Structure 1
């Protein structure tokens, strides 16, 4: 189906490097494959949220559906694990690499090695900051900058342009956290009655979101917090726990908006505990493999490919949850 992209190396060397990969990236899945089967390396950030788990499943299921040999490496939230796994995939001479980078920076050297080896790299979900865009073949993901704008526009509408806001940021240095912070602030700054009184990282994790929210309630007093803006649903769900444990009613006493739109967030809206979610669609596997097939066939593809996102509010959550696939 596809051209012989790279010359395969001896089986004994593949076994050795395969053992190396299993120790550096949190483990890898490697089903057996014959010489005509494409081998794709997939490097994930980790399993820090329901969204991330759905993202991983989307890629794995699509690879299986198309009959590819997918090698999976879990970064476990550590950029150094991802870089080691990436280097191992290059040494193994896989046909292509799908990379969901934890942070934007630090990828220049690794990507240059892949390019020199003739291995195309598809950047998935989060972007990379490199000096030369030719170091990767294409990008697939949501428009995380626009998501922040959508969230801010809802806040303006919901509050009438007057509120004290606390922000739960995602992983420092990750493109979603950077974009969702900058774009949200760009809209909020246009409204003098809206103030971001605190902004701290919860690392996209539920437990951290709860901890940060507890600290903010203690620092500012619940009477001085009108709204929580969380960079993902898991942190918002943690914040809901903190608000409830403080004896307050989330979504009523303190309004909440988050990004991702996983099922647990819809359940929270149905329960009247979360006001709004901005979607970040994790089902990116099909589009990623569509583009990889074209790239490996020598076709030219767009450099930037975005999945469609929507905004969902509490009032319609009972109906909207029926259509959720994740």
Structure 2
């Protein structure tokens, strides 16, 4: 990932956002900030799709932050997790001559050409949520979560819970080639190195509930309920699908197979409260105000830090029960 430099104003807003959970008061001021005064700012937003509850909350946050009331015209495209379609959408934004482009890249690779086209057209690009392998000269800034740290936090719980005990683990990976899938796998592996946890199988569920269910059904058919001790899911939706598969096979999720997941969306948090998930690492989707603030600052000619991280929390069953009613996602 890019250098982990915290921008002062963005960090303060991000920390406030996380501390209050349901607050959206982070990032740049949507009042008198840069970007053309009373002129409407046209922004093209290339979203990954609508694959999960997290993604829906992220989309809503972006649409609210880039609304007409906030001085924006938003051209929205959700690519249904098709990288080629997403790149095509960005090219359409360029041809329309938008003022700025915001992208949540489906995968990390393959962005060099279209980002260069945006740069040649004088259109600034902000990356949101996910990262790319293209040169950071081709975009102005990135705002999102530290996926590697999320993986580390999930792995630390697993290491503390299972220690040296021989443990058979299966993994539900996110979309192949995506930054969260790559980084969450790397972080988890770092944290459990030297423990008794052994990965016996790992497949992508594409961050979807149906994908998680289908892959987990295959794991159970191959290893049986008794042959799996731990499930690491790269997001809550896949964990929720896996829960359905475990229950359909006569198992008790959270007991027969312990589950650690990432996201902390409400359905996942409820499953944690119900004891079907054992531990959740947060991935905060409310990035809209931060992204909108960066767009305004860049268009105003202000220098911005390249990388803006939002802090994540972790939740046990008891902690989830305390906060679930106050959360916005």
How high is the TM-score relative to the length of structure 1?
0.88
Please say if 1:252 is aligned against 2:258. Answer: no
Q: Equivalents in 2 of 1:2, 1:248: separation in Å?
A: 56
Q: Indicate the residue corresponding to 1:320 in structure 2.
A: 323
217-226 or 83-92, which deviates more: 217-226
Q: Equivalents in 2 of 1:100, 1:59: separation in Å?
A: 11
Please say if 1:284 is aligned against 2:274. Answer: no
Q: Equivalents in 1 of 2:43, 2:291: separation in Å?
A: 12
Q: Equivalents in 1 of 2:276, 2:34: separation in Å?
A: 50
Quote how far apart the aligned CAs of 1:182 are: 1.3
Task: Spell out, residue by residue over 1:151-178, the C-alpha distance to the aligned partner (whole angstroms, 9 max, x if none).
Answer: 0001011223422111000000000000
Q: Indicate the residue corresponding to 2:19 in structure 1.
A: none
Q: Equivalents in 2 of 1:190, 1:286: separation in Å?
A: 41
Q: Indicate the residue corresponding to 1:304 in structure 2.
A: 307
Q: Indicate the residue corresponding to 1:181 in structure 2.
A: 185
Quote how far apart the aligned CAs of 1:236 are: 0.2
Q: Equivalents in 2 of 1:66, 1:167: separation in Å?
A: 41
Please say if 1:269 is aligned against 2:272. Answer: yes
Q: Equivalents in 2 of 1:210, 1:298: separation in Å?
A: 48
Please say if 1:103 is aligned against 2:120. Answer: no
Task: Spell out, residue by residue over 1:209-256, the C-alpha distance to the aligned partner (whole angstroms, 9 max, x if none).
Answer: 011111111111221211100000000000000110111111011100
Quote how far apart the aligned CAs of 1:308 are: 1.3
> Cα RMSD over matched residues?
1.5
Note the 1:104-183 alignment, pairs <5 A.
Answer: 104-130=108-134, 132-162=135-165, 163-183=167-187
Runs of 4+ in 1 over 3 A off after TM superposition: 1-4
8 Å CA contact retained: 1:188, 1:195: no
Q: Indicate the residue corresponding to 1:9 in structure 2.
A: none
Larger Cα Rg: Structure 1 or Structure 2? 1
Q: Equivalents in 1 of 2:184, 2:322: separation in Å?
A: 27
Q: Indicate the residue corresponding to 2:81 in structure 1.
A: 77
8 Å CA contact retained: 1:155, 1:161: no
Q: Equivalents in 2 of 1:187, 1:198: separation in Å?
A: 18
Quote how far apart the aligned CAs of 1:189 are: 2.2
Please say if 1:89 is aligned against 2:102. Answer: no
Q: Indicate the residue corresponding to 1:223 in structure 2.
A: 226
Point out which structure has higher relative CO (alpha carbons under 8 A, 6+ apart): 2
Q: Equivalents in 2 of 1:159, 1:288: separation in Å?
A: 39
Q: Equivalents in 2 of 1:187, 1:269: separation in Å?
A: 22
Q: Equivalents in 2 of 1:40, 1:86: separation in Å?
A: 11
Unmatched tracts of structure 2, length 5 or more: 1-32
8 Å CA contact retained: 2:39, 2:71: no
Q: Equivalents in 1 of 2:66, 2:158: separation in Å?
A: 39
Q: Indicate the residue corresponding to 2:209 in structure 1.
A: 206
Q: Equivalents in 2 of 1:97, 1:71: separation in Å?
A: 9
Task: Spell out, residue by residue over 1:104-156, the C-alpha distance to the aligned partner (whole angstroms, 9 max, x if none).
Answer: 111100000100111100001010111x2110000000000100000000101
Quote how far apart the aligned CAs of 1:293 are: 1.1
Query: CA 1:56–1:3 in structure 2 vs 1: closer, same or farther (change >3 Å)?
Result: closer
